[in-house]
Chain A
């Protein structure tokens, strides 16, 4: 059975059907791509999975559980983590603190144990630092640990966001245009990094992007979205040669 099942979901903004009857499934260990031109509804689909927006129709099941009505933090607790297209780091906090937040979210420390600095709190603090440092090391950005997140370049911030999501120990990682704002070299590095992340953290990924380059390189399977509907699906090669996809990206071909 698929890890994530999206069944004919619909989202309306006023009278506009931003997403209309979209279905797809993502299997354990897969890197799934969701592509389409700007305004196709990719981010909207993405938001219904991470819980930022509830779908108006349809169902989403994750790991055998229906999740479409759950709140974002409840989905995070089930093992779904995400990054943001427009970078939402906690910019006033250090990189290390950013990565500690998802570890904190899962720890049982509360106001009383923290205020009194009980041994349990100190232990959990060390554990959070350890986990955050291990992820920073894996991503090769240990040097930035004590830097204020907002002071980093866009490329590094993307990496920190990735690290923050990984600290949640997700089974499903949702990446919203992770290559946006990256130059060609950084994009190539990211393309090499994503499969390594899958091996190391044993997770599945849903990758949303309008840039074909990254998606073609790393995805096992691709769905193409246009005007809120799936217009094509298949292996990267199949999708790239599909006339419907070419039309969507380049406009109606002149005969």
Chain B
């Protein structure tokens, strides 16, 4: 299929650029690129929840905080290996995601949004409040987890760590892509399409919605675990509610239905602010720009930026190859 081949070619090209481009930049930009990768994972977590099953969440950074705090406390406070702490953080985040999903089972739209806001605020004000975890980690605050080594290669260099983050991001994206094109994606989209029809076709709505919440939160937890070792310290304000709001907005602008939005969204979340700084504009304007983008996107491309771009690209490409394969029939056919 030409569409598939085109997609593969574009993805391969983007991966080559993503590997090579930061080599020509400063360590600061490489660090930002690594940030873009874990931010991309957060957008990916929104893709699973919003794009697949049609649920909204304003507490993805709270799930990320679970991953980050687990890694921070265990690696920095208890001298665990990152490779043990990280999966534990992912599992915790997934578990909390399922717990948040339980009350969310009977809610959708606005009411679900309010529930997730409440969860985020609960995290910000109680669970992540300064001092809550001091007794657990021997009073170390903030935690400063060091970078791990991967297969004997140290990840302390910014470029090495960026490549590691890129690899993690790509693997996760690939796995989610597989889910999207298989049974899980089909089932979740069916539930988004009509819960009533899906349940009478034998789908256990409860189990599938909780699966989506757990999966989404686990991906967010992984993003958080990566962020903790990227930044090298864990502090609550990095994971507060306001971040979750811009994340949701960016995911929707990019198009939550598309796995490709995760990459674009992550890059935009990090480098959008960076570009504003370079232009000596306060990065406070970032949220304003995202808001304006959200309005424009809803009016111009209701599916989101990335799906409409890929669609335009593939139809243009298809038209060109169709023209080559099957020339337009001679005129006078209708005569």
Pick from B13-21, B34-42, B183-191, B312-320 the stretch touching chain A.
B183-191
Interface of A is mostly: helix
Residues of B within 8 A of A121 (CB): 182-183
Return chain A residues, CB-CB under 8 Å to B193: 89-93
Interface of chain A residues 57 through 109 with chain B (CB within 8 A): 71-73, 75-77, 81-82, 84, 88-93, 97-98, 100-102, 104-107, 109
- A89 touching B197 by the CB < 8 A rule? yes
Q: Roughly how many angstroms separate A98 CA and B205 CA in the complex, as a whole number?
A: 17
Name the residue on A nearest B203 (C-beta): A105
**Interchain CB contact under 8 A, B182 and A109:** yes
B182 cross-chain contacts in A, Cβ below 8 A = 109, 114, 117, 121, 125
Measured in the bound complex, the distance between the Cα atoms of B182 and A82 in whole Å is 25
Asked if A213 is at the interface of the complex by the 8 Å CB criterion, the answer is: no
Indicate if B211 sits at the interface (CB-CB under 8 A): yes
Q: Which of A71, A76, A110, A116 is close to B201, meaning CB atoms less than 8 Å apart?
A: A76
Q: Are A101 and B200 in contact, CB atoms less than 8 angstroms apart?
A: no
- Could you tell me if B178 and A88 are in contact, using CB atoms closer than 8 angstroms? no
A115 at interface by CB-CB < 8 Å:
yes
Residues on the B chain within 8 Å of A116, using CB: 175, 178
Q: Are A90 and B197 in contact (CB under 8 A)?
A: yes
A77 touches B186 (CB 8 A): no
Q: Is the CB of B200 within 8 A of A114?
A: no
Q: Would you call A43 an interface residue if the criterion is a C-beta within 8 Å of the partner chain's C-beta atoms?
A: no
Which of A51, A89, A97, A106 touches B200 (beta carbons < 8 Å)?
A51
CA–CA, A135 to B271, complex, Å? 50
- Residues in A with CB closer than 8 Å to B202 are 73, 76-77, 102, 105-106, 168
* B196 interfacial by beta-carbon distance below 8 Å: yes
Residue in contact with B204 in the complex, picked from A52, A73, A111, A168, CB distance below 8 Å:
A73
Given contacts A111-B184, A114-B184, contact A52 B196 (CB under 8 A): yes
Q: Which of B185, B192, B199 has the most CB of A within 10 A?
A: B199
**B278 within 8 Å of A by Cβ?**
no
Assess the A97–B183 pair: CB atoms within 8 A: no
Tell me whether A71 and B199 are in contact in the complex, defined as CB-CB below 8 angstroms, given that A109-B183, A111-B179, A114-B182 are known contacts: yes
Give chain B interface residues in 1-59, CB to chain A under 8 Å: none
The yes or no answer to A124 lying at the interface (CB within 8 A) is: yes
Any chain B CB within 8 A of the CB of A50?
yes
In angstroms, how far is the closest chain A Cβ from the Cβ of B100?
A: 18
> Which residues of the partner chain A approach B176 to less than 8 Å between Cβ atoms?
115
A85 to chain B, nearest CB (A): 12
Asked whether B200 lies within 8 Å of A81 as measured between CB atoms, the reply is yes
Please tell me if the beta carbons of A124 and B183 are within 8 angstroms of each other in the complex. yes
Contact yes or no, A72 B190, CB < 8 A: no
- The answer on a CB contact under 8 Å between A72 and B215 is no
B248 to chain A, nearest CB (A): 21
In the complex the two chains form, is A92's CB within 8 Å of B189's CB?
A: yes
Given A90-B189, A115-B178, A117-B178, A72 contacting B183 (CB threshold 8 A): no
A77, B211: Cα distance in complex, Å: 20
B121 contacts chain A at the CB level, 8 A cutoff:
no
Report chain A residues within 8 Å CB of B199: 51, 71-73, 76
Bound together, the chains give a CA A106 to CA B182 distance in angstroms of 14
With both chains docked as a complex, state the minimum distance between the C-beta of A161 and any C-beta of chain B, in angstroms.
9
The smallest beta-carbon distance between B57 and chain A, in angstroms, is 18
CA distance A89 to B192 in the complex (A): 11
A164 to chain B, nearest CB (A): 7
Q: Are B201 and A164 in contact (CB under 8 A)?
A: yes
> What is the distance, in angstroms, from A149's C-beta to the closest C-beta of chain B?
9
Separation of A27 and B146 alpha carbons in the complex (Å): 71
With A92-B193, A107-B183, A111-B211 as contacts: A102 and B201 at CB distance below 8 Å: yes
Q: For residues 156 through 198 of chain A, which have their beta carbon under 8 Å from a beta carbon of chain B?
A: 164-165, 168
Taking CB atoms and an 8 Å cut-off, the chain B residues in 162-191 that contact chain A are 175-176, 178-179, 182-187, 189-190
| A interface residues (Cβ-Cβ under 8 A, vs B) | 50-52, 71-73, 75-77, 81-82, 84, 88-93, 97-98, 100-102, 104-107, 109-111, 114-117, 121, 124-125, 128, 164-165, 168
Given A92-B192, A128-B183, A168-B201, 15 additional A-B pairs, CB 8 A: A73-B204, A76-B199, A81-B201, A82-B200, A88-B197, A89-B193, A90-B189, A91-B193, A97-B189, A105-B187, A109-B183, A111-B184, A111-B215, A114-B178, A114-B184
Spell out B's residues near A (CB within 8 Å). Answer: 175-176, 178-179, 182-187, 189-190, 192-194, 196-205, 211, 215
Can you identify 18 A-B contacts, CB atoms within 8 angstroms? A52-B196, A52-B200, A73-B204, A76-B199, A84-B196, A90-B190, A90-B198, A97-B186, A101-B187, A101-B198, A104-B183, A114-B183, A115-B179, A116-B178, A117-B178, A125-B182, A125-B183, A164-B201
